[in-house]
Amino acid sequence: MVSERIRGLSAAGFGTAELTVTLAIGAVLTAVSAPSLLASWRAATLRAAAEEVAAAVNVGRQLAITRNVLVCVAVAGADMRFEGAHAGACSGVGLPGAAPVRLASGLDVRAVGAGVVFTGLGAATPAGRYVVVNPADGRTRSVVVAASGRVSIH
């Protein structure tokens, strides 16, 4: 009881011409969209790394408030360390129990000027800025720490 419509279908399938045209259209679409996709991926990676840096800086601020001590957020490549501070400068000695944070993206982070030191009240002395750099294309995002301790991404 196979209907006449199904019986009339050819068992040959698609021809070489149809497959070639389909593959050519797919190749053109891929070639056109690849640069845009790559640029979006790099921008998203840079934005995510800046958000990671902002989160790490906020952890340093919370450590300072919780322990009521001066905490310096120091940077070394893709690592962010929490150090004690004396006279507004980083001591170079990590805080006990505060593990360094490594950026998942592996992008470079640079402190502009000295590292930010948070007081026990959460204020930053001095205010500062960290720059996240994507070495693949040289683009940057800044993480700015205001004197009040507020962290923002620019």
Paired residues of 73 in beta bridges: 82, 116
Digit-coded pLDDT (tens) for 116-137: 999 999 999 889 999 999 888 8
Structural domain boundaries enclosing 62: 13-153
Paired residues of 153 in beta bridges: 143
Digit-coded pLDDT (tens) for 20-29: 999 999 998 9
Determine, yes or no, domain membership for 20.
Answer: yes
Q: Spell out the residues 6+ positions from residue 109 whose beta carbon is closer than 8 angstroms to its own.
A: 49, 53, 75, 77, 78, 80, 103, 130, 131, 132, 133
Whether the model pTM is above 0.85: no
Number of domains in the chain: 1
Residue 10 φ/ψ, nearest 5 degrees:
-85, 145
Give me the CATH number covering residue 85: 3.55.40.10
Determine, yes or no, domain membership for 4.
Answer: no
